[in-house]
Amino acid sequence: MSFGPHLFLALLEGTVSAFVLALTALGLSLVFGVMRIVNVAHGEFFMLGAVLAWFCASLVGTPVAGFLFALIAAPLIVGALALAADRLVLRRIDYHPEGTIVATIGLLYIIQQAVLTLYGPEARPVTPPVYFILSFPWFGYSGYKLVVAAISACLLAATWWLLARTKLGLYMRAAQQDLEMAQAFGVPARRVYAMVFALGAMLAAVAGVLVVPIQQAHYLMGLDPLLLSFIVVILGGLGSVKGTVVAAFVVGISDGVVSVFFSPTLAKIVATLLVAAVLVVRPGGLFGEDRA
């Protein structure tokens, strides 16, 4: 394919993946920003969203109904699971940073293997709610992917609205800036933490529901989104929502464009090393505060 159309395709793909990535990574970023912990099981919440979407689709008749059902049910179920994990494990270890990492690695394996047992090792497809192909002169493109981008954009906006305009959002921002002060002003820290953790999980789950008609639901699908989310969150700044969204676009679009010139594996290597370099030079990430 000649350069122009190739670039166009790369930009299309990059935009779609940027939106999905922003949605997936946002949860991780919020959790770190407010709670100061890294949730290594984040990718598994994404996978759970995808698998639950498959369950919903198999229970309901039409793809559209299945999709809508999943959009509501999957995040609720995953959110409840996250609340349970917070109450039973994270709270008990008092959100100790390194302990949380170990605990969430454990959670990763528990969720992954539970899905393996209950859902099986197969990769199963989910029919997209709408299916049409945009035929450009040089290539065809899945219309549903653009729908995913649009829905993600709406959800990102909704999350921004939650943070900027609601009481919960106010509490979250307060807790992020200075937990002790916030508590002194009556912010219920424990409850905010629980809600943030649940919100983070729910965002990942929704991303999974959106993405699964493009890919397939498979019990190992959570690892890649986790690594990508790490990259985005670090580049954008641990704890900065704006930074996360910007970084998602940088990563998403450049990944598409770079793979025009280089092999994808090489592009991934470069991206990974770049992230490490950023952290070394600015331990708080590009936009974040210096929180070494």
Residue 280 phi/psi, 5-degree rounding, is -70, -40
Q: By CB under 8 A, is residue 292 in contact with another protein?
A: yes
**Alpha helix (H) residue ranges in the chain:** 3-35, 42-59, 63-85, 97-119, 143-165, 167-177, 179-184, 189-211, 223-236, 241-261, 264-281
Which residue's CB is nearer to another protein, number 79 or number 129?
129
The string of DSSP letters for 207-272 reads HHHHHTTTS-B-TTTTHHHHHHHHHHHHHH-TT-HHHHHHHHHHHHHHHHHHHHHS-HHHHHHHHH
Tell me the site size for another protein, rule CB under 8 A. Answer: 74
- x/- binding map, residues 126-165, to another protein, per CB under 8 A? -x---x-x-x---xxxx-----------------------
- The residues in 77-136 that bind another protein, with binding defined as CB under 8 A, are 89, 92-93, 97-99, 101-103, 105-114, 116-117, 120-123, 125, 127, 131, 133, 135
Q: Are 185 and 174 in contact (CB under 8 A)?
A: yes
Which listed residue (62, 64, 157, 264) binds another protein by CB under 8 A?
264
Which residue's CB is nearer to another protein, number 157 or number 269?
269
Which residue's CB is nearer to another protein, number 164 or number 276?
276
CB atoms < 10 A from the CB of 155, how many? 19
Which residue's CB is nearer to another protein, number 159 or number 255?
255
Which listed residue (230, 236, 239, 245) binds another protein by CB under 8 A?
230
Nearest approach in angstroms of CB 174 to another protein is: 22
Tokens of 80: 């409840």
Nearest approach in angstroms of CB 260 to another protein is: 7
Q: Which of helix, strand or coil describes residue 285?
A: coil
Nearest approach in angstroms of CB 268 to another protein is: 5
Nearest approach in angstroms of CB 98 to another protein is: 5
Which residue's CB is nearer to another protein, number 138 or number 161?
138
- The residues in 11-50 that bind another protein, with binding defined as CB under 8 A, are 13, 17, 38
Q: Are 91 and 190 in contact (CB under 8 A)?
A: yes
